[in-house]
Structure 1
Amino acid sequence: MSDTQTLIENRPPSVATLFLERVDAAPDAEAFRYPVPPASGEGPDDWRSLSWRQSADRVLAIAAGLIDLGVRPEERVAIASATRLEWILADLGILCAGAATTTVYPSTNAEETVYILADSGSRVLIAEDAAQLAKARERRAELPDLAHVVVVNEEDAIPAEGDPGGWVLTLTELERRGAEHLAGNPDVVRKRIDAITAGQLATLIYTSGTTGRPKGVRLPHDNWSYMARAIEASGLVTHEDVQYLWLPLAHVFGKVLISAQIGVGHVTAVDGRIDKIIENLPVVRPTYMAAVPRIFEKVYNGVAAKARAGGGAKYKIFQWAAGVAREYAKATQDNLRRTGTASAPTGLALKHAVADKLVYAKLREAFGGRLRAAVSGSAALAPDIGYFFSGAGIHILEGYGLTESSAASFVNPGENYRTGTVGKPLPGTEVRIADDGEILLRGPGIMEGYHGLPEKTAEVLESDGWLHTGDIGELSPDGFLRITDRKKDLIKTSGGKYIAPAEVEGRFKAVCPFVSNILVHGADRNFCTALIALDEATVTGWAAEHGMEGKPYADVLASQELEALIAGYVDRLNEGLQRWQTIKKFRILPRDLDIEHGELTPSLKLKRPVVEREYRHLLDEMYDGARES
């Protein structure tokens, strides 16, 4: 048996056990870094650290506090909070109590939050602030199982008229109760941990979905223990890494990173404030970071916009350097695949060295200067964006997985990564491609099923363990997976041609630095159209350079100049497409798509039915009387 097989097959039944092992192995090593804003509200944050032992003190107190509140094994405790240190400590406390975490995005509206709390039967809600507390309080009558709300921000834990006694308490109070409970019964939490079985429910994650009510995905303890060991065995991260974690922990992609950290033992700097990413990177100086494609797209568009604002010469240098980066990345990746050496032709290598001094080095410094690898997941990364960053020395390793497979089923293997693929399966995960191209997965990371929905479970999970992902893909002879599209999102035109909209959308994001979101439409139509949402900051900068400074943003969007600009990028896109894929007409949307309007999921995936329904009038307008083919 190989070392990898031994590591995975001898995994403990739970991450709670792994956590105690990590604490025992390195009690004084740094585990987490977290920001503390200045009291004045001005100036930089003060970053502080917790060791593994200090983290364990809080985690065990939270676990004991929940036990003191009467929480029993497998009962659900919900967390509605942005990504922050307390989210991680609370989640680990829940797991160590033998209970199960129900994750709730803080952006989820009150109606859906109440649905998730009720459907999961959550006994306790750990709410970040007054806004999350209010969602449960205003509809408490619909939540008969909810016995307590624990508020993280102490100043927001204000009891209201009509609250049952003790219904609201602070996280500090919970930890105090737990410490007192441990003083009288010091083994209470360890007994709970020792009693955890591999198949015991650990997490309920409600898929945000693009249509209908969310479904609760049941993930047992063994899923997370397997993920911790499989990621450790992959060699993707080491105990010397510093991870910058800002992804939403209510999402499975963020959640799996906690398991990986516990398995490997590296440092995690945690701060979920999206507006602080650019400020935090040079402070944290991460060696490893996970993100969704939209972040890399925004960075690329921001760099291009800055170069454009610097004048024609600077923009030409950037465009030249971007082309060199892509050419260099393709050449080195191809040579590595063929010969085992990541080399480039001499002339290209010389051009790359010049471009590195002019452009790439500054870009790497913006990421903190030490970034060894970035993992991209949740949606497809446009290959041209991936090649650009690869050539610039920022190595983006695409991965793939679902909530139903505990997030990390595939990931690119370190230095041998291939842009445009999601890499190879994690050790212990099996894959096969069905006759219709659908990707099927089987292994220890696969969910138990959907909570209370046996019929829905049977639709995707076969009796022999194979999960139908709903994604279309293809495997290379040496095992690299390429995702081509969502099975349900494939467009079939009235002419009988199949089109993968995500592929066309990704290509457009790579050629147009002004785009934020794009939806390609064409099902049962005789040609394709697009709804294009632009990035306001980038467009505003362009407008100022073209005599429209100070004009209302709506007027800029409606201008002929902007229409012509975007049309030029659509033409560039069409040059690389098959005739039936080309965008014949497009409309610029009056604003960007967002979560608040229900057009994007919390993980920033496009909700096609919502957008098509909202902008049906624009789609109909483009096809009205049209006869193009």
Structure 2
Amino acid sequence: MPIEKNKVMELLRTFDLLDHLKQQYDKADVLFAKRDGKWLGFSVDEYVYHARNFAKGLLAMGFQKGDKIATVSNNRPEWNFVDMGMAMIGVVHVPVYPSIGAEESRFILEHSDARMLIVSDNLLLAKLQPIVAQLPAIEWVYAFHVNDRVPHWLDIVALGESRKVALRPVLEQCRQQILPDDVASIIYTSGTTGFPKGVMLTHRNFMSNVAGTYHLFDLGPDDRILSFLPLCHVFERLANYLFQSHGCSIYYAENMGTIVQDLSATRATVFTTVPRVIERIYDRIVAKGDDLSGVKKLMFFWALRLGEAYHPEQKNGLWYALKLKLARRLVFSQWQRSFGGSMKFIISGGAALQPRLSRLFFAAGIPLMEGYGLTETSPVIAVNSLVKSRSVMIGTVGPCLNNVEVRIDEDGEILTKGPCVMKGYYKDIDHTKAAIDPDGWFHTGDMGQLVGDRFLKITDRKKEIFKLSSGKYVAPQVIENLMKESIFIEQAMVVGDNEKFASALICPNFDHLHVWASEHKIHYRDNGELIAHPSVVKQYQKEVARVNRITGKHEEINRFRLVAESWSAATGELSPTLKLKRRVLYKKYAPVLRDIYGYAPDEENRGAIKFNGAVRDFDLPSEV
């Protein structure tokens, strides 16, 4: 019997989505990839064909339920084909970030017990082949990209096709034996502190999250989705399943650098993102505003100030509504065009979103909604939504899903329970027991509160909150987000555990700072010399002083230092989801942190490596 559209909640295994897609949305253009500069579409029939024959090919190779296959790939339709093919026969998919280092890649490939590795291109193949050569458990290496070094993934599809008659009943029997509580995937956390843990997620975990979010978003087969966050990350993967459940057409961006062009070319209606991407897009918009002159420039920044006061429930009054209508016509309409002209809404997750940005995008007619979850919760726990009235509160992550329970522990930690909670950490009973208590509550490690008994508000990570020597607690993420509201600041890390006062390491937004320095006739040879210039120092003192006027007295940043190098996932300071790797930063800047608090080298033990990067530190003058 066909699966009715309103019965998506009855889909219990990830590959059931394929049956749903075929029965409800038998489209000729469901998945897209850019090949040779043109968008190439794949139909639902092609999706089903490749997935089923890939599954048969694996059966012909001797794969069984519970075996593991790792993929290291960019986003592409083929990722879905092999993902669904594995799921049909109970093979566990282990998706790995392409951007992580060799040591972490080796750990995941070895720890997961993967029997096969599939890579997307020759660069990744060159990076991973020396590692695979030392891991006898990996029996095969395949590639999505045609090359002469390893077999092509379509060889497995061809094998399945060649034996389709004999393997058809075997595949059907395998499908019937896959239970909702069987593990579908092991996703390794991004590892901001040491090696990652393998999170075992079941079919029920994923599909309960699809069911919990299905009715929260106005989506349908006419929607065009641009996908650029890594599919190996649980947020984009769940969104990928959700979009497929609605029959949307999904366009997989070439890379992060082509997002703007791809938005325009596809005229996307929706995309998911992390806050850092939105921050960079906003910075580019402001930079264009800075290039304006006269009345146009005044109008641009008037619209920004107006947008920062926006309230989603239209509580600003009639006069504000009239001004906003003018701002949308004269300024914000340009924003919509920069997003392709058809953007309905954006969903942000993975880290805390600045409320100011959400207000601005809402004001611009592009609702930017924040959600919250973890890899261990498949991932969504709560999310803002436009579908139901009073379901958006900027500054919170929205109401909790109907099929998820949440409570705030005595110490303020968020606990959750429900079908989305992981089965456990792979080969790690101790950490599993520490994360999930005997009553089934998963301890998120995040601190929060329920606003109006409905909206969940995240205050910080439990492990990142520190106490000053005065006994006062400081939540660094809150302050760091306030600092990043400045266009001059790319990243910031607030420190001060057991110290008299809080301090900060500041990574400047060098793209903006270089332009600003040119406008102010500041000459410099390199970033080290630039951040030491008195005019630059004064500007950053003003930016930090602005934050200090907002925070509590004990949270004020009394001393800060500028660093002369950018932080990124590629250089190791950020995780693949662009979160601060605090342990890495503490180690990298250990001598700087010692000096900031006046310690001698033998008095401070956060790290002892020699610091090789240029930095500059400043106390805030009392007059700022």
Q: Once the 2 structures are TM-superposed, how far is the Cα of residue 495 of structure 1 from its aligned partner? A: 1.2
Deviates more, 1:305-314 or 1:291-300: 305-314
Q: Once the 2 structures are TM-superposed, how far is the Cα of residue 428 of structure 1 from its aligned partner? A: 0.8
Q: Give the corresponding residue for 1:596.
A: 570
Deviates more, 1:223-232 or 1:449-458: 223-232
Give the percent of matched residue pairs that are identical in Structure 1 and Structure 2.
32
Q: Is 2:273 the partner of 1:291?
A: yes
CA distance in 2, matches of 1:546, 1:13: 61
CA distance in 1, matches of 2:378, 2:353: 20
Deviates more, 1:118-127 or 1:529-538: 529-538
Q: Once the 2 structures are TM-superposed, how far is the Cα of residue 618 of structure 1 from its aligned partner? A: 2.2
Cα RMSD after superposing both structures? 2.2
Q: Give the corresponding residue for 2:509.
A: 535
CA distance in 2, matches of 1:103, 1:417: 33
Secondary structure of 1:30 counterpart: coil
1:190 maps to which of 166, 169, 172:
172
Query: Is residue 559–residue 619 contact of structure 2 (8 Å, CA) maintained in 1?
Result: no
Q: Is 2:115 the partner of 1:123?
A: yes
Q: Is 2:36 the partner of 1:15?
A: no
Secondary structure of 1:278 counterpart: helix
2:474 maps to which of 479, 499, 502:
499
Secondary structure of 2:498 counterpart: coil
Secondary structure of 2:380 counterpart: coil
Secondary structure of 2:250 counterpart: strand
Q: Give the corresponding residue for 1:84.
A: 76
CA distance in 1, matches of 2:194, 2:297: 45
1:401 maps to which of 367, 373, 378:
373
Q: Give the corresponding residue for 2:181.
A: 199
Deviates more, 1:398-407 or 1:545-554: 545-554
CA distance in 2, matches of 1:539, 1:241: 38
Query: Is residue 17–residue 193 contact of structure 1 (8 Å, CA) maintained in 2?
Result: no
Q: Give the corresponding residue for 1:347.
A: 319
Unpaired runs of at least 5, structure 1: 38-44, 159-167, 337-341
* Residues 96-116 of structure 1: per-residue CA shift (max 9 Å, x gap): 232110011111222221211
CA distance in 2, matches of 1:253, 1:94: 20
2:458 maps to which of 483, 496, 509:
483
Q: Is 2:360 the partner of 1:388?
A: yes
Q: Give the corresponding residue for 1:40.
A: none
Q: Give the corresponding residue for 1:24.
A: 23
CA distance in 1, matches of 2:286, 2:414: 36
Letter in 1 for 2:400: P
Q: Give the corresponding residue for 2:146.
A: 154
Distance change in 2, residues 1:627/1:321 (3 Å): closer
* Residues 218-239 of structure 1: per-residue CA shift (max 9 Å, x gap): 0011112212222213345334
Q: Once the 2 structures are TM-superposed, how far is the Cα of residue 315 of structure 1 from its aligned partner? A: 4.5
CA distance in 2, matches of 1:611, 1:136: 26
Q: Give the corresponding residue for 1:563.
A: 537
Q: Once the 2 structures are TM-superposed, how far is the Cα of residue 7 of structure 1 from its aligned partner? A: 4.3
Q: Give the corresponding residue for 1:33.
A: 32
Letter in 2 for 1:410: A
Unpaired runs of at least 5, structure 2: 600-617
Deviates more, 1:558-567 or 1:426-435: 558-567
Q: Once the 2 structures are TM-superposed, how far is the Cα of residue 183 of structure 1 from its aligned partner? A: 4.5
1:435 maps to which of 399, 405, 410:
410
Q: TM-score, normalised by structure 1?
A: 0.90
Letter in 2 for 1:347: W
Deviates more, 1:50-59 or 1:599-608: 50-59
2:244 maps to which of 253, 259, 262:
262
Q: Is 2:433 the partner of 1:458?
A: yes
CA distance in 1, matches of 2:182, 2:11: 13
Q: Once the 2 structures are TM-superposed, how far is the Cα of residue 551 of structure 1 from its aligned partner? A: 4.5
* Residues 50-83 of structure 1: per-residue CA shift (max 9 Å, x gap): 1211211111122222222211112111001112
Distance change in 2, residues 1:62/1:627 (3 Å): closer
Q: Give the corresponding residue for 1:42.
A: none
Distance change in 2, residues 1:136/1:275 (3 Å): closer
CA distance in 2, matches of 1:14, 1:502: 37
Q: Is 2:520 the partner of 1:546?
A: yes
Letter in 1 for 2:586: E
Q: Once the 2 structures are TM-superposed, how far is the Cα of residue 254 of structure 1 from its aligned partner? A: 1.2
Q: Is 2:249 the partner of 1:277?
A: no
1:137 maps to which of 120, 124, 129:
129
Secondary structure of 2:151 counterpart: strand
CA distance in 1, matches of 2:161, 2:535: 65
CA distance in 1, matches of 2:368, 2:541: 30
Q: Once the 2 structures are TM-superposed, how far is the Cα of residue 15 of structure 1 from its aligned partner? A: 1.2
Q: Once the 2 structures are TM-superposed, how far is the Cα of residue 197 of structure 1 from its aligned partner? A: 0.5
Distance change in 2, residues 1:317/1:521 (3 Å): farther
Deviates more, 1:225-234 or 1:361-370: 225-234
More helix per residue? 1
Query: Is residue 508–residue 573 contact of structure 1 (8 Å, CA) maintained in 2?
Result: yes
Q: Is 2:418 the partner of 1:418?
A: no
Secondary structure of 2:244 counterpart: helix
Letter in 2 for 1:496: G
Q: Once the 2 structures are TM-superposed, how far is the Cα of residue 200 of structure 1 from its aligned partner? A: 1.0
1:370 maps to which of 336, 342, 351:
342
Q: Give the corresponding residue for 2:492.
A: 518
Q: Is 2:449 the partner of 1:474?
A: yes
